[in-house]
C-alpha cells in the first residue's frame, strides 16, 4: 500500500463494524475492529478484571474474623466469586490479543488501574455489610448495562457476573439489617460503616461527565450505555429507598429528587481525594499492591506446574501420533 490509497480490507472492515453498531449487534473476536476500539476495550476490561482480583483483599481480611461459621463460609464463597469474575474478564480481554501475563505484569508493576474503592480499609465487621450493599450495589448499577456492551465476550461475561453480584448485594444488606436491629453498639457500627463507604462508592462510577475523557467515545461504540453521572444518580435513588428499610441514614443531607430532570442529586464529592487514590496515594494502595505482588510470587510454582503439565500432554500426543 502507498499509504494514500485507502486499504480495501480496512474499508470493508470499517463498514461492517459500523453496520454492526448501527444494528446494536455484537462485535466478535475475529471481526475486524478499529485499533482504538480494541485498545479501549482492553483498557476497560483489564482494569475491571484487576478490580475484581484486588477487590478480594478487603473482604478476605475478614474471613477468619467473621462472627460465625455460616458467615465465614458465605464470605469465603463471595471472595471466590470475585476471583471467578476476574478470570472471566481476563479471558475476555485475552480474546482481544493481550495476554494474561501482560495484564498481570502491568498490575504488579503498579502501571495498571483498578477501582478506587478497594484502596479504603475495612475496619469493622459492618464493613462487610456496607461493601456488599453499597460496593456490589454500585457494581450492579454500572454492570447491568454492560451486559449489552457491543463486544460479545465482555457482554456475555457480565451476565453471569451480575447474577452473582446481586447475591452479594443481598448478603451485604442482610449483614447490615441484622446489625441495625441488634444492640446500640452494633447499630452504631452499621451506621459508621455506611457513613464511611457512601462517598467512595459514589465515586466508583468515575469522574463527573464533564471530566470523563473516555465516556463519549465509549458510548458511541455501544460499550458504555449510560454516563458516569447518570448511573451515579440511579444508584443514589436505590440507596435512598433501601436505607429506610435498614433504619439507617445516608451521610448526605443534600440528597433529593429533581422533579424537573427526574434525577437524584447528591451533595458534593471530594474529587481531589479521588485523584489522590488514582495516583496511588489512597489509604491502602501500597498495601494492596504489595499483597498482590507477594501472592503473584508465591503462585509462581502453580503457573510453572501448569506449563509443565501442558508440555507433558503435548509430548504424549506427539508420541501417539
Given the rule CB under 6 A, which residues bind ligand FAQ?
43-44, 47-48, 51-52, 55, 82, 113, 115-116, 131, 135-136, 139, 142, 203-207, 212-215, 218, 224, 228, 278
Residue number with CB closer to ligand FAQ (125 or 205): 205
Q: Which is nearer to ligand FAQ, 142 or 191 (CB)?
A: 142
- CA distances, 239 to each of 122, 197, 318 (Å): 20, 12, 59
The residue (of 187 and 197) whose beta carbon lies closer to ligand FAQ is: 197
Which of 13, 34 has the CB closer to ligand FAQ? 34
CB of 135 to ligand FAQ, least distance (A): 5
Report, in Å, the least distance between residue 297 CB and ligand FAQ. Answer: 22
Question: For residues 33 and 17, is the Cβ–Cβ distance under 8 A?
Answer: yes
Q: Which is nearer to ligand FAQ, 165 or 252 (CB)?
A: 165
Write the CA distances from 220 to 21, 37, 95, 224, integer angstroms: 9, 10, 22, 8
Residue 108 or 256: which CB sits closer to ligand FAQ? 108
CB of 288 to ligand FAQ, least distance (A): 12
CB of 148 to ligand FAQ, least distance (A): 13
- Report d(CA 51, CA 53) in Å as an integer: 5
At its nearest, how many Å lie between ligand FAQ and the CB of residue 308? 32
Residue 136 CA to its chain's centroid (Å): 9
| Nearest residue to ligand FAQ, by Cβ distance, number only | 55
* Minimum distance of ligand FAQ from residue 145's CB (angstroms): 9
Residue 265 CB, shortest distance to ligand FAQ, in Å, is 19
SS3 letters across the chain: CCCCCCCHHHHHHHHHHHHHHHCCCCECCCCCCCHHHHHHHHHHHHHHHHHHHHCHHHHHCCCCCCCCHHHHHHHHHHHHHHHHHHHHHHHHHHCCCCCHHHHHHHHHCCCCCCCHHHHCCCCCCHHHHHHHHHHHHHHHHHHCHHHHCCEHHHHHHHHHHHHHHHHHHHHHHHHHHHHHCCCHHHHHHHHHHHHHHHHHHHHCCCCCHHHCCCHHHHHHCCCCCCCHHHHHHHHHHHHHHHHHHHCCCCCCCCCEEECCCCEEECCCCCHHHHHHHHCCCCCCHHHHHHHHHHHHHHCHHHHHHHHHHHHHHHHHHHHHC
Is the CB of 190 or the CB of 199 nearer to ligand FAQ? 199
Give least dist CB 310 to ligand FAQ, A: 30
In whole angstroms, how close is the CB of 255 to ligand FAQ at the nearest point?
20
Radius of gyration of the chain (CA): 22
Nearer to ligand FAQ, 181 or 217 (CB): 217
Of 60 and 246, CB closest to ligand FAQ: 60
Amino acid at each position: 500500500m502507498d499509504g494514500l490509497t485507502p486499504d480495501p480490507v480496512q474499508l470493508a472492515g470499517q463498514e461492517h463494524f459500523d453496520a454492526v453498531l448501527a444494528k446494536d449487534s455484537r462485535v466478535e473476536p475475529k471481526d475486524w475492529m478499529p485499533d482504538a476500539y480494541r485498545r479501549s476495550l482492553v483498557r476497560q476490561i483489564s482494569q475491571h478484571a484487576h478490580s475484581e482480583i484486588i477487590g478480594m483483599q478487603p473482604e478476605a481480611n475478614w474471613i477468619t474474623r467473621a462472627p460465625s461459621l455460616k458467615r465465614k463460609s458465605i464470605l469465603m464463597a463471595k471472595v471466590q466469586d470475585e476471583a471467578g469474575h476476574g478470570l472471566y474478564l481476563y479471558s475476555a480481554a485475552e480474546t482481544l490479543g493481550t495476554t494474561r501475563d501482560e495484564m498481570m505484569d502491568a498490575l504488579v508493576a503498579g502501571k495498571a488501574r483498578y477501582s478506587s474503592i478497594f484502596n479504603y480499609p475495612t475496619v469493622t465487621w459492618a464493613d462487610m455489610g456496607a461493601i456488599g450493599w453499597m460496593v456490589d450495589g454500585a457494581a450492579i448499577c454500572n454492570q447491568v448495562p454492560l451486559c449489552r456492551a457491543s463486544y460479545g465476550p465482555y457482554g456475555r461475561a457480565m451476565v453471569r457476573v451480575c447474577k452473582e453480584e446481586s447475591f452479594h448485594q443481598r448478603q451485604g444488606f442482610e449483614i447490615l439489617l441484622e446489625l441495625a436491629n441488634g444492640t446500640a453498639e452494633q447499630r452504631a457500627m452499621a451506621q459508621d460503616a455506611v457513613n464511611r463507604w457512601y462517598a467512595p462508592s459514589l465515586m466508583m462510577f468515575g469522574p463527573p461527565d464533564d471530566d470523563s475523557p473516555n465516556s463519549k467515545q465509549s458510548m458511541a461504540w455501544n460499550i458504555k450505555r449510560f454516563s458516569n453521572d447518570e448511573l451515579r444518580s440511579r444508584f443514589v435513588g436505590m440507596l435512598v429507598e433501601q436505607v429506610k428499610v435498614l433504619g439507617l441514614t445516608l451521610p448526605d443531607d443534600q440528597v433529593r429528587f429533581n422533579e424537573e430532570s427526574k434525577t437524584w442529586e447528591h451533595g458534593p464529592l471530594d474529587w481531589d481525594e479521588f485523584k489522590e487514590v488514582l495516583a496511588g496515594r489512597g489509604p491502602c494502595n501500597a498495601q494492596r499492591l504489595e499483597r498482590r505482588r507477594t501472592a503473584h510470587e508465591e503462585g509462581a510454582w502453580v503457573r510453572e506446574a501448569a506449563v509443565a503439565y501442558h508440555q507433558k500432554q503435548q509430548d504424549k500426543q506427539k508420541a501417539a501420533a
